[in-house]
Structure 1
Amino acid sequence: MNSLPVLKNNLLHSYIPKHMTAVLVICLVLLGLCIVASLVFGSRPVSFNELIDGLFNPNVDSYGANVVRKRVSRTVFSLLCGAALGVSGALMQAVTRNPIADPSILGVNTGASLFVVSGIAFFNISTANQYIWFALAGAMITAVFVFGIGSMGRGGATPLKLILAGAATSAVLSSLVIAIMLPRSYVMDQFRFWQVGSVGSANWNDITTFIPFLIIGIVIGIISSSALNALALGDELATGLGVRTGVLRLVAALAGVLLCGATTALAGPIGFIGLLSTHVIRLILGPDLRFVIPMSAAVGAIILTISDVSGRLIGSPGELEVGVVTAFIGAPILIILATKVKVSSL
């Protein structure tokens, strides 16, 4: 028992990784490049002068300057959504002790989608505020259901059972979404562009609605990071260190679902960002969630913004929705992780 205070002290006050400064600088540089690329590239690339006019000369009313101004909200929204999904993935992996947990893999995105399409079909919802509350309800109910199914039987909520439960639940909910949409053409018209996941229709009202959910989720994630480090050692040892594991799991899971649900409500079900960003950071900085959670926000923002720009370039003169791009990148990586990494626990 004498070792417990020492272990607790090490968990709460572990050393900062030696290359943390370098990682921060690289992330800031990449974020800057992503912002510039998102403002410049698209179906109509803009010049440097048009970029400057669009950002700093409100009196200039040229086509290029207006294009830049329109892309500013899209860029900000892309960064915020990527940050939210990155932190959501990190929290879900920590709570489930599953290294390949992700909102899309566990069916949480699909649950949010079902509730949104149900709201459109049966309650005539049409605003961002309405979308968010329906999506959050769907995401939370689905998360509880998947975790409950995955916890049944011997061994509790193992990674494999959670993935299977998430896949099965997602398949059933996707069928329900289609069943609701097919006889209602107006619902299909309103829902089909949202369903693939896109940040292209973002506006400042969406961003204003989204920011409080983002702040609450990330703050909870950062505050709970030290306790989640203890949880990674196992429930018994975490309890011995003074961690209330049940409360911790509930609060951290709610924060993850909050971030995922709010993002899904406004941008659609964008998958694999949480999976990719968290694994990149763990590979570089190690498993300490005090660093993984906030840095997953930065890497998630980078990945989603790069994916959005890539979709615009690949689909030019139109665009390929970002949800398609992230799925194309993330699915092979998930297969590699599932076959190569030990997924029994973190």
Structure 2
Amino acid sequence: MEERAFWVSPGRGEIRPVDVDEPTLGQVRVRSLRSAVSRGTETLVFRGAVPPDQHERMRAPHQDGDFPGPVKYGYLSVGVVEAGDLSLLGKTVFCLHPHQTAYVVPVADVTVVPDGVPADRAVLGGTVETAVNALWDAAPMVGDRVTVVGAGMVGCCVARLLSRIPGIDVTLVDVDPTRAEIAESLDVAFAHPSEAAGGRDLVIHASATAAGLQRSLELLAPDGEVVDLSWYGDTPVRLDLGGAFHSSRLRIRSSQVGEVALHRRHRRTRAERLALALELLRDPAFDVLFTGASAFEELPELMADLSAGRRSALCHTITYPGHLDQGAT
């Protein structure tokens, strides 16, 4: 069957035809309902900014092509199983798959969306999974004072999960004052970087800027830690590590979703982590992150606009032809 997929080369996107085979034993064919643009990573890919030494590490599941491009890239897809494994027929599933009208994947690569989680919200599965992994890495304690720097998709998801831990004081920090309304909907405080309170036990950084990482360090209390979720691509990051960095014994460490956080790695699988993320998406508060939608055919123009900063978005979803709005089944 001929379907269509979105491909990118540095600075350019296009819709291409793609052949999709009939599923064989242990496979399913998924008809796409929604996908979402992971703005930070996908715009870096669109600009051709994946460093050569990271080409293999940054491969997405089911990616076709090689960096810098042409490459079929993306990993936030929700669809309905229309052929293959009988136990999954008609089920709404999440898959780490690029933007494509339909695709065939192994059964193990799809996760059933829980009842009560609409398809639109389910596209956040991979983002909430990243947030879950970050909190497994960061291990916040009851009563901690925590700041999240960067109110993008990942930062907002982390902030919302933190807000549900008893006794934690959470502040979301961003240079964009319009994110204050989003923070309120997520039940956390908001501050501009220049006005954010210091003395924090933990700071989670997700702004993907050197200025954001520097400010994260400045907000820490002695012996505090920054957990950095940002990916900078080929952009160098410079920090001032004078001042309190050594005398206050501050720490910076990374968190990345490619591996389960160390303290859970031998007790949780990636599949269990993703299933947990989808369960957490029963929370309707996440709906505030959706700031726009475009048809699949508009992806080339959309990605160019997002990469050039001509269009702002938190979570921009992609709709596919032939399907009405649909929740989980």
**TM interval, short-chain normalised:** under 0.3
Larger helix proportion of the pair: 1
- TM-score between both structures, scaled by the size of structure 2: 0.27
Does 1 or 2 have the higher relative contact order (CA < 8 Å, sep 6+)?
A: 1
- TM-score between both structures, scaled by the size of structure 1: 0.26
Larger Rg: 1
Larger strand proportion of the pair: 2
